[in-house]
């Protein structure tokens, strides 16, 4: 017997059987994969699904690193590449080879109208276009070159630099292209606000918190390194490049925070030097304490960039161990392409990719003790985090036990990865089951302890729901808080059901929250994937795992919605624009990952023999490439809904395979669904 996470005793439900226990079953499956009669459409679909599953399995196995992990490229937008060049310019560490490689990538992403978008097929985006333009100027491109002339004309039409987001104008202020006085103020004394006080640093989501603490130092120092050229061509009126922004009514929240910002600008001029110096030193200590073993911060590029700038402004030279390892860590975000171009990843996703790949392969019928699954499990077990992080500010007595998204990010494990890693580990027949059980127990206990007061789960913190951070004029770059979401909550509910805690009060509260969050049309909002297809694809498998029958009204509404938004070609797709305009909900070009999500939802609801499932499976089988992969240029992931979109290159492999495997073999790990 083992101790359960609530302190009682009891054994975890059994894991998936080993290959030796499943020989007969696997033999039967091989027999089933023989081609069906060509005149029977359902049999044709089943045969096509089996062939596609076998091909996709082999392809995914071939992508595993010898150490046991999987990692696909994480593609975002050219601001990552532009800001990398701006950082090197600011620090005086330009490298001609890197500059040309980055410029080649940025040029290749420009659209015919001269703009750059933040996702494939999306509209031109002003800030991204400004940053790409400036980066190409730094790389030596002439402003009157046709591609830059088109870009600058479009920028002026959109309001010029003055209409750009705050982060873009901060980068320009570093070189004197914008006035620091015309940027929102962010005082370093923020570090001293107590944890109960509004707008303390722990009111921000972890990604924003790491960035903002560093930027308080930059905002206080207001550095200017001489620019190598002017940017008059990016202003609507070069004689008045910094036009004042209109004030909102004082009775509105926006008006209140605009006036607060004006007061902070006054404070900047009269702040005690002693207090300000102490605050900056405290912020620096906070930053250094959170540097990871690989030199990065939070496993993501933006906080690393701003932390390096902040510490450098405080006198840390580039040979200091903190900055030396920090700069070295940024090289690991670079993806060199065959054409000699260089793309910068915003972060890397090995834990997430590995647990999803493990689930996909197990559900596709790979033996549970297959050596590559065992190797993946070993790698994931080694990645479990055993020390407290920022999450413990709100949960000081909760023992650690989560997983992070990245290679190195011990300070910020996340609830979503932890739930999915548990689901992955329990699909593997590991030679040391006691080790797996202990890791699962720790993870379940941690996830339970991270439940928010409303019964749901956010990604990184509990109860990170303050309404104030999003109101700050400084925070116009996307989501800056981490409230609970349907997709994360669904993954936790599914995990809790898998470990036998279906009737645990925590699980039931999560289910109740999910049912209450369903949209009137039947879908669920997807915070970390695009969008309603992702939310619905996450929730229905969780409800099924927790015993909600396929006949439940909420399930039937969701099935109806998925059937209504299925594309004529049989697949599903949803554009990033659905985050701004609900008319796009469930609408977009068919993609392999989103078709996989929709099929996972329908299969969980008991729709295996339905026409929608048959058409979706056929679409996956027909669009699969000869090597077992799928092509997917579309962005189906999100960092910040609408503001920061992601193309996870492994999504196009793992989710179609998961869906096909469940269609061929039944539910997760062979369990029936839709009872």
d(CA 525, CA 585): 9
8-state DSSP, 623: H
Write out the E strands in 47-138.
74-75
Vertex 499, ends 594 and 492: CA angle to 5°? Answer: 40
Question: Using CA atoms in the order 139, 144, 146, 151, what is the torsion angle rounded to 10 degrees?
Answer: 70
**Bridge partners of 56?**
none
Report the SS3 class of residue 652.
helix
CB-CB contact of 450 with 398 (8 Å): yes
Three-state DSSP class for residue 295: coil
Rama region for 584: left / alpha / beta (φ>0; ψ in -120 to 50; rest): alpha
Identify the DSSP state of 5. T
Half-sphere exposure of 217 (CA within 13 A, CB side): 26
52 exposure class (CB count in 10 Å sphere: 0-12, 13-18, 19+): buried
- What is the gyration radius of the CA atoms in the chain, in angstroms? 26
Q: Which of 607, 620, 640 is nearest to 573 (CA)?
A: 620
Find how far residue 93's CA is from the centre of its chain. 30
Kind and range of the H or E run holding 665: helix 651-665
Strands laid side by side in the 74-75 sheet: 74-75, 644-648, 637-640
In whole angstroms, give the CA distance from residue 307 to residue 209: 12
Q: Quote the Cα angle for 8-13-19, to 5°.
A: 150
CA nearest to 341, candidates 75, 668, 5: 75
| Residue 662 near residue 362, CB atoms below 8 Å | no
Distance, CA of 540 to CA of 548 (rounded, Å) = 9
- Given 369, 390, 416, 498, which residue is catalytic? 416
Q: How many CB atoms lie within 10 A of CB 44?
A: 17
Q: How far apart are CA 84 and CA 139, in angstroms?
A: 12
Q: How many DSSP H helices and E strands does the chain contain?
A: 23, 5
Cβ pair 60, 657 in contact under 8 A: yes
Nearest 5°: CA angle at 592, between 591 and 597?
A: 100
Contacts of 139 (CB under 8 A, 6+ apart): 85, 99, 100, 102, 103, 106
3-state SS assignment for residue 3: strand
Neighbouring CB atoms inside 10 A of 672's CB total 9
Whether 39 is catalytic: no
Cα 588 from Cα 613, distance rounded (Å): 18
Residue 446 near residue 395 (C-beta atoms within 8 A): no
Residues 6+ apart with CB under 8 A from 298: 206, 207, 210, 290, 292, 304, 409, 411, 412
**Catalytic residue IDs:** 416
């Amino acid at each position: 017997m083992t101790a359960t996470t609530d302190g009682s005793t009891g054994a975890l439900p059994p894991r998936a059987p080993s290959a030796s226990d499943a020989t007969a079953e696997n033999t039967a499956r091989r027999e089933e994969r023989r081609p069906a009669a060509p005149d029977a459409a359902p049999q044709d679909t089943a045969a096509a699904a089996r062939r596609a599953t076998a091909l996709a399995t082999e392809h995914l196995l071939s992508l595993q690193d010898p150490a046991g992990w999987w990692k696909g490229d994480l593609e975002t937008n050219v601001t990552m590449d532009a800001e990398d060049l701006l950082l090197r310019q600011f620090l005086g560490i330009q490298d001609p080879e890197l500059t040309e490689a980055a410029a080649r990538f940025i040029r290749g992403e420009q659209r015919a109208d001269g703009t750059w978008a933040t996702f494939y097929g999306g509209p031109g985006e002003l800030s991204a276009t400004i940053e790409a333009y400036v980066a190409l100027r730094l790389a030596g491109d002439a402003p009157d070159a046709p591609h830059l002339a088109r870009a600058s004309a479009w920028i002026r039409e959109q309001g010029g630099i003055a209409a750009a987001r705050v982060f873009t104008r901060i980068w320009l202020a570093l070189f004197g292209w914008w006035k620091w006085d015309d940027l929102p103020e962010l005082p370093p004394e923020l570090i001293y606000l107590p944890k109960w006080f509004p707008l303390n640093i722990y009111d921000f989501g972890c990604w924003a918190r790491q960035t903002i603490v560093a930027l308080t130092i930059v905002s206080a120092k207001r550095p200017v390194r001489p620019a190598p050229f002017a940017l008059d061509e990016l202003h609507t009126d070069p004689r008045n490049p910094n036009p004042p922004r209109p004030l909102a009514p004082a009775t509105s929240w926006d008006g209140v925070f605009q006036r607060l910002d004006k007061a902070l600008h006054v404070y900047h001029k009269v702040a005690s030097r002693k207090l300000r110096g102490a605050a900056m030193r405290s912020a620096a200590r906070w930053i250094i304490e959170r540097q990871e073993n690989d030199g990065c911060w939070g496993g993501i590029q933006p906080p690393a960039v701003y932390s390096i700038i902040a510490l450098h402004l405080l006198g840390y030279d580039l040979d200091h161990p903190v900055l030396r390892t920090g700069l070295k860590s940024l090289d690991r975000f670079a993806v060199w392409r065959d054409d000699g171009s260089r793309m910068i990843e915003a972060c890397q996703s090995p834990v997430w990719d590995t647990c999803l790949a493990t689930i996909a392969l197990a559900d596709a019928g790979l033996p549970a003790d297959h050596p590559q699954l065992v190797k993946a499990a070993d790698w994931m077990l080694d990645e479990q985090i055993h020390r407290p992080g920022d999450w413990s500010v709100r949960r000081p007595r909760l023992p650690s036990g989560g997983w992070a998204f990245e290679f190195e990010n011990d300070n910020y494990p996340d609830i979503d990865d932890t739930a999915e890693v548990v689901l992955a580990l329990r699909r593997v027949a590991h030679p040391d089951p006691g080790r797996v059980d202990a890791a699962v127990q720790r993870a379940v206990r941690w996830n339970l302890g991270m439940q928010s007061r409303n019964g749901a789960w956010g990604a990184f913190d509990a109860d990170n729901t303050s309404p104030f951070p999003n109101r700050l004029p400084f925070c116009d770059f996307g989501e800056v808080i981490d409230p609970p979401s349907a997709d994360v909550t669904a993954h936790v509910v599914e995990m809790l059901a898998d470990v036998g805690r279906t009737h645990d009060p925590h699980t039931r509260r999560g289910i109740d929250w999910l049912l209450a969050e369903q949209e009137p049309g039947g879908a669920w909002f997807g915070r970390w994937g695009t969008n309603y297809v992702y939310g619905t694809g996450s929730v229905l498998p969780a409800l099924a795992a927790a015993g909600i029958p396929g006949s439940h009204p909420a399930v039937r509404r969701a099935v109806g919605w998925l059937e209504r938004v299925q594309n004529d070609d049989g697949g599903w797709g949803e554009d990033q624009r659905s985050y701004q305009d609900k008319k796009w909900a469930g609408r977009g070009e068919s993609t392999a990952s989103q078709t996989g999500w929709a099929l996972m939802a329908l299969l969980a609801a008991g729709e295996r023999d339905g026409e929608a499932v048959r058409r979706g499976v056929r679409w996956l089988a027909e669009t699969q490439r000869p090597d077992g992969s799928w092509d997917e240029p579309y962005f189906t992931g999100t960092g910040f809904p609408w503001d920061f979109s992601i193309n996870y290159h492994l999504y196009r492999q793992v989710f179609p395979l998961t869906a096909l495997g469940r269609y061929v073999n039944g539910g997760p790990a062979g369990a029936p669904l839709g009872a």
